[in-house]
Structures are given as structure tokens and as C-alpha cells.
Structure 1
Amino acid sequence: MLGAVIAAAGLSSRMGDFKPLLPYRGKTILAATVEKLRAVGAKEIVIVAGHRHEEIRKYFKDSSLKIVYNPHYRERDMLYSLQCGIKNIKKAAAAFIMPADMPAISLQTFADITNAWQANKGELIIPVQNGRWKHPPLIGRRYFADIISFSGENGMRGILNKLEKKAFLIEISDDGLNVDVDTPEEYRRLLETEGYSEKL
């Protein structure tokens, strides 16, 4: 069984609005990612919330998702949220690890990464584009302890650098790997690219 951890605890200060619940394709940015993860078989999905966590709980109240509250979201980085999430993955043999602001990653990308894992290419699958590592890696349970115990620098990338020799790198051409939503301008560009409009 596959799982996923989505870090959605940040303040969204550069956006000026709460990124995970911004409208996108008739849903929200966060819900669009959850939908794709479910489509490729991720059954144990953990969302780590902090800022406006009650709104996330309310939005997904009828869902089988697990919402974990990170009380240190103001002073800790995204890695801490991901560590909180990994601790709450109880059954999945591997989990996608990603931030909440990358809704443009295609379903095909999630499927390609999943297929590489199912084909026993390795227990750590990292998408790569033009030589650069991208989100979301798919990480086998055997490496969960490495994530939870890591206290070095560079966050998740520091962990992946440590595990690089054990990783299977899969080349992905998806432009959505380069799209995150940190500012109002990036949000507008996302909606324009998708051919979908919302009032900002």
C-alpha cells in the first residue's frame, strides 16, 4: 500500500492568502493533489497542518485523510512538518513526500513514479528533470527512520543527498514539476496556464 505526506502547515506569507485552500480546477490546490495521489493508489494520506488547520479539517471532514497538527509551524521548517507526517504513516510500504503548493504536477508523473516503485527499481524513487531533483520523491518505509531522525542542514534535500546512492532516479518531462505557488503572480500564472480562471 502506498501513502503520502503533504506539508500544509506554513503561513503562506508571500502569497497573502492561504495557499492550500485557494481555488483550483473547481476544488482547491490541496484537494487537487490529494485527488491525484488517490488515483495512483495512495490510500494512507497524511496532511500536516498548522496555520488555519481547522479550515483544512473542515474542508476534508468527510474524507479518510489523516490531518496532523504541527504546533510549531511558526518556528520550524517544512522538514519538521514532513517528519510529523512520516511518524503518522502506520501501514504504507512507501510514501510520497511533498509540499502542498504544487498542484500542477500531472497524474502521469505520479503514475510513472509509482510504476517505478512497483517494478522494484528501488525503495527510493526521485523524479529528475534536466539533472535536477524534483518533488515528489517516493520513499520506502525502510528509510522513514532516516527522515525522522535527521537533524542536519538543507531539509529534505539534505536527507536525499545522504541517501543518494540508494536512490533510483527517473527522468520526468512534466512542466508541473517546476510550478509552485508562492506569490499572487505565480498563482495567476498557474491559472492562466491551466486555462482556468478564478477571481483573485
Structure 2
Amino acid sequence: MIGAVIAAAGLSSRMGDFKPLLPYRGKTILAATVEKLQAVGVAEIVVVVGYRHHEIEKYFAENTALHFVYNPYYREKDMLYSLQCGIKKLGKADAAFVMPADMPAISLRTFSLLIDAWQFKKGKVIIPVQNGRWKHPPLIGKKYFSDIVSFTGENGMRGILQGLAKKAFLVETVDDGLNIDVDTPEEYKNLLAKETSLKNG
């Protein structure tokens, strides 16, 4: 079974608005990611919430397949701590995507390619790559969940993945969505502009 942990607990301070619930594709940024994960067969999705958590949980009230984990230290801790909280709550997943909540433009094809690589036993850590650069989201086998939970080093998930580099299988993809996250108002405008151009193109 494939799972996913999505970190959606932060304050979105650079954005000036709450990123997970910003409009995107007729829904929200977080909902777009959840919908894609479920569309490719991800059966267990843990969403780590903190700031404005009641709003997120209310928005997804009808999606009973989601599991919510509250991170009480969302003001003090970084995203890695949220991901660690989420991984602890995974149940039956044999591998899980580990990702932030602000990358809604990743394509279905990319998620499918990573899952295929896992299922064909290419490796226990599957990482999308563009032009030699590692991207989010990695698909990490259950064997290494404990490595993430116990990690106390530097550079967050990047530091963890660097430690697992010899065990990783890299999947080259041309997906532009891997380069789009939404940390600032300008990046959000660019995301919406790109979506508009795709619809009109």
C-alpha cells in the first residue's frame, strides 16, 4: 500500500495568507494535491495540521479517507517536525510520499512514475529528478521511516535524503510542477498564471 504525509501546519508567514486553503483549480491548493494522490491510488494520506487546523479539517469533512494529525509546535518547529509527526501515524503503508502542502501543480504522471518505480522494485527510496537536481516529493519505503523520525541533523528532508543517497533510485521527469511551490504572493500569481495559460493553450 502506498501512503502520503503532507505537511500543512505552518503559518504561511511569507505568503501573508493561508496557503493550504488558497483557491486553485476550483478547489484549494491542498485539495488539488490530495485529489491527485487519491487518483493514482494512494490509499493512506496523513495531513499534518497546526495553524487554522479547524478550517482544514472542516473543508475535508466529507473525505473520510484522510487522517489528520495535529502538530502543537507548528509555531516553533520546522516542516521536518510536521513530517515526523505524520510518519509516526502511518499505519499499513509500505511506502509513502513525503511532501509539503504547497506543490499542487505536480502532474499525475509524475506520481504514477514514482509509484511504478517502487512497484517494480527499483529501490526503497524513489526520487524525482530534473537536470540532475533532486525534487519533491520522494517516495520512501517503510524500512526508512524510522530514519526520518529519529533524524536530528541539519537541512531537514534534504539532509535525510542525502544520507539515503546510496539507496535511492532517481526518476528523471520533465514535469514543470516539480519546480512550483507557493511561498510568496508572487509565486502564487505565477502558479495561477501558468494554470490559465495551460487552459488557453
Alignment of 1:62-101 (within 5 A): 62-63=62-63, 64-101=65-102
RMSD between superposed Cα atoms in Å: 0.8
Task: State the 1:32 CA deviation.
Answer: 0.3
Matches within 5 A, 1:126-165: 126-165=127-166
Deviation at 1:123, TM superposition (A): 1.2
Letter in 2 for 1:182: D
The 5 Å alignment of 1:107-126 reads 107-126=108-127
1:26 is matched with which residue? 26
1:44 aligns with 2:44: yes
Distance in 2, Cα, partners of 1:42 & 1:106:
14
Letter paired with 2:173: I
Distance 1:184 1:159 in 2: 29
Aligned partners of 1:172, 1:84: CA distance in 2, in Å? 29
How far off is 1:111 after superposition? Answer: 0.7
Aligned: 1:54 with 2:54: yes
Determine helix, strand or coil for the equivalent of 1:48.
Answer: strand
Structure 1 residue ranges (4+ consecutive) displaced by more than 2 angstroms after TM superposition: none
- Structure 1 segments unaligned to the other structure (5+ residues): none
* Distance (whole Å) between structure 2 residues aligned to residue 10 and residue 78 of structure 1: 7
SS at structure 2 position matched to 1:146 = helix
User: What is the number of equivalent residue pairs in this alignment?
Assistant: 196
Superimposed CA distance per residue, residues 67-121 of structure 1 (whole angstroms, 9 cap, x where no aligned partner): 1000000000000000000000010100000000000111111011111111110
Amino acid at match of 1:163: L
- 1:35 Cα offset (Å): 0.6
Paired position in structure 1 for 2:196: 195
Equivalent-residue separation in structure 1 for 2:128 and 2:147 (angstroms):
20
Instruction: Write the distance in 1 (CA, Å) between the matches of 2:39 and 2:117.
Output: 16
TM-score (norm 2): 0.96
Map 1:168-183 onto structure 2 (within 5 A): 168-183=169-184
SS at match of 1:192: helix
Calculate percent identity across the aligned residue pairs.
Answer: 74
TM-score (norm 1): 0.97
